[in-house]
Amino acid sequence: MKFFKIKVVLKKTVVFLLMAVFVISFTGCNKSTNSTKKPMQEKIVEVEKMIKIDSNPEGAEVVVDYGKSYKTPFKCLLTSGPHTLIIKKEGYQKLNRGIIVKKDSSSFSITLSKEEASISPSGLILFDSVPHIACCSAAAIAYSNIFYGETCIVSGKTSLKSFDLVFPSKKKVHFETEKITDSKKESYNRNFSKTVTFDEVGLYSILSNGEQEYSFEVCYKAKILPPTPVIEDIIPNFYVKNAIAVPTGKEVTARLLITDAKKNPMRNTPLGVYNLKTDGSGIVTFKVSVKGQTGVGYFQDVFVNEKPAGVRIYADILAWVYESATFSKKGHLIESTIRGIANDAKVITDGNNTYMPYGSFGIPIYAMYSSDFPGVNGNILVNPAKPSFIYTNSFISENSGLTWKYFGTAFDTMAISHSQPNVLYAWSRYFPNTLFKSDSYGMHFDEFIKININLATNFVSQIVPDPKNPNAIYLGTWDGLLKSEDGGKSWNFITTPERTIEATAINPSDTSTIFMGGLNLYKSNDGGKTWNETELTNKDIHCIAFNKSDPNVMYVGVSGGLFVSNDGGKTFKSIGSFSFLGNRSIAIDPKNANRIFVFSEGDGIYESDDSGAHFTKISPYGFENSIGTVNSDGELLVNNGGILFKLNNDGNFVPLDGKFFLKNGPKWKMIDGKFYIAVNTIKPDFFAVKIDDKTIKFYKASDMVP
């Protein structure tokens, strides 16, 4: 169920988030030398080299730059610069590995590590048959997968010489284990196997030396009977199948047939939960409802006959809530429980397709368009000296977004040197202790600066070049704040009161004044040699932005709020209740410093024209987890889940090169300057659209697991 939760809700710590975008690869891999690919735009001339890629052991599957997969050893034509490899081989740990092709590069060899035995959930016994013991999710099917009267083989591996399976009645089945003769591992080096008939309903325990190792439940078998609504009838592509469908704010009647493992009805039998008892046919009838607030970050509680219940109702039967909205064919809202639904939406019918404006029907962009390409959400930059150059985590455009080139990897964070606008810095977790540097506005990466200090986490939250001194560079990391004063040749941790650095900013007029934030906001007046606390303590700092026309004015985004200082950080005043996704959540118009944009996580985009005194929400539903920047022309550019948008003069968010970023998803078109999507072509697994002669109905499965 956690998988579903991640798909539906973009969570914090965006840097680990891997969202998808569509890629045209710049590499060609084959075992012959004839495999080449043309670059995406003819202006960019790439030098390709034949590179041999091998693994130890051989025979691993390798995906190069998220393209096709090949078996090692093989040869690739690769352009100079970074490339990302995903290496998989059965019995070995999956590896994401970055490689850098240089002038003298000819081959790369990757050593794989043996896959360690997984423990489920944790402890001294690994079951390979039954019971099924789940962990980590309240909505996981945490029952044992054993039903009353069933005879099963209980087997697996353990480090125990013996243990007991204890029935609800305290009856015991004793297991003696047998040492695995060829095992080289100290743990889990003994086998066990025994046939057991589970002729009692209730909680079973596994004990060793009198201590409980595991417990699991054996239930009667349950089957959903009509007319009980089931989730797959409402949302056909939803991956949960065996679930009672409960509409938000309503109650449904459910009927279950209760049997033993051999499908014999359990007549007039108490189930032991919610005071439920079957009738003379083995059928139990009850009411299911949900309570709680819907929407991102909210979770609803299930009730059976008004008694609190979990997502798992009984045995393998789940309860799942769904939201819905109904429009007339003209776009007038009839009723809705889905957050973000518009009251009126212009509907355009074109042939067999029904188009509605994006943001009117309650589904975000990232849930509709996807590919196999990760790591693009969280960055969008515009070069101040060449505004036609736009950067995201994975792509560069030199022509204002008309065409794009792939960097060769997905960067966690990037920064432009304002003292040398031709210099672009970037960091990727796939390349340990390596800072990328381009002297060509990002067209090529010319230097790969090795950090002479080992970073335990290998995670850089922010790169901050000194705005006046090109040799001074700061790296905000989860290991502390690093500084180089010689262009990256050497690095040192500068004195910081905090280890995990989320945001760093340098005063543009006085570069010896630095602000650094993690749990608290600190200020240094001497280039980071010493630090002092500010008023903002215990605030969980996420973002710091200076008003460049008046550097005494600075904005700080914290968990749950926005603060402004008008005296260079001496005092702060709260000016808004926002939530922040990362250190690029505030954007200031370089042409008009009074114009500020705030990107509020789980909420949307807000604009202020009076330096933050008043804010107005300008984004429709679907921009709840986005990051943006303002170019030198005062245009707002937004990275929304990996899809790039521009705010046009009419106040509409329109895709920036939709032909590139919106390939793999529903049909779309621009109508009257607005971005429309053919809702009948939307096919995510938690959303459904049903259109008839009179209405357009939307159904959306809710989050059920906190």
pLDDT tens-place string over residues 168-186: 999 999 999 999 887 665 6
CB 704 within 8 A of CB 311: yes
Per-residue pLDDT of 434-483, as tens digits, reads 999 999 999 999 899 999 888 888 889 999 999 999 999 999 998 899 99
Average pLDDT over residues 116-141: 62
Residue 494 gets which letter from DSSP? Answer: P
CB 478 within 8 A of CB 461: yes
Domain contains 192: yes
Rounded Cα distance between 381 and 659, Å, is: 20
Domain contains 70: yes
Residue from 226, 301, 287 nearest 251 by CA = 287
Asked if pLDDT for residue 35 goes beyond 60, the answer is: no
C-alpha distance from residue 189 to each of 8, 127, 179, 214 (Å):
41, 13, 6, 19
Domain co-membership, 99 together with 38: yes
pLDDT of residue 122: 52
Choose one of 218, 241, 263: the last residue of a domain. Answer: 218
Rounded Cα distance between 280 and 260, Å, is: 15
pTM (two decimals): 0.82
For the chain, percent of residues with pLDDT exceeding 70: 88
Strand order in the sheet with 460-465: 460-465, 473-477, 480-484, 492-493
Residue from 263, 249, 245, 356 nearest 292 by CA = 249
Q: How far is C-alpha 435 from the geometric centre of its chain's CA atoms?
A: 24
Split into its structural domains, the chain has a count of 2
Domain co-membership, 101 together with 129: no
Domain co-membership, 213 together with 185: yes
Domain contains 73: yes
Domain contains 163: yes
Domain co-membership, 104 together with 157: no
Rounded Cα distance between 480 and 495, Å, is: 9
What lies within 8 Å, CB to CB, of 162 at 6+ separation is: 174, 175, 176, 177, 208
Core vs surface per residue 583-608: b (16+ CB within 10 A) or e: bbbbbbbbeeeebbbbbbbbbbbbbb
The DSSP annotation for 49-94 comes to EEEEEEEESS--EEEETTS-EEESSEEEEEESEEEEEEEE-TTB--
Per-residue pLDDT of 232-260, as tens digits, reads 999 999 988 889 999 998 999 999 999 99
pLDDT of residue 116: 60
Domain co-membership, 134 together with 211: yes
For the chain, percent of residues with pLDDT exceeding 90: 66
CATH (domain of 178): 2.60.40
Report residue 391 as tokens.
């950067």
Per-residue pLDDT of 359-394, as tens digits, reads 999 888 888 887 545 544 578 999 999 999 999 988
Domain contains 156: yes
C-alpha angle with apex 390: 437 to 398, nearest 5 degrees? 90
pLDDT of residue 183: 61
Domain co-membership, 95 together with 137: no
Choose one of 89, 111, 133: the last residue of a domain. Answer: 111
Domain contains 638: no
Per-residue pLDDT of 51-104, as tens digits, reads 999 999 999 999 998 888 999 999 999 998 999 999 999 889 999 899 999 989
Backbone torsions φ then ψ of 99, nearest 5 degrees: -125, 150
Q: How confident is the model at residue 552 (pLDDT cuts 50, 70, 90)?
A: very high
Domain co-membership, 60 together with 139: no
C-alpha distance from residue 662 to each of 14, 462, 656, 658 (Å):
22, 29, 10, 5
Domain co-membership, 107 together with 29: yes
Rounded Cα distance between 327 and 694, Å, is: 9
Domain contains 85: yes
Amino acid code (one letter) for 164:
D
Domain co-membership, 93 together with 170: no
Per-residue pLDDT of 140-165, as tens digits, reads 445 688 999 999 999 999 989 999 99
pLDDT of residue 136: 45
Choose one of 218, 253, 277: the last residue of a domain. Answer: 218
Domain co-membership, 154 together with 209: yes
Q: Which residues pair with 195 in a beta bridge?
A: 153
Average pLDDT over residues 498-509: 90
Domain contains 203: yes
Domain range holding 106?
A: 24-111
By DSSP bridging, strand 243-247 and strand 317-328 are parallel
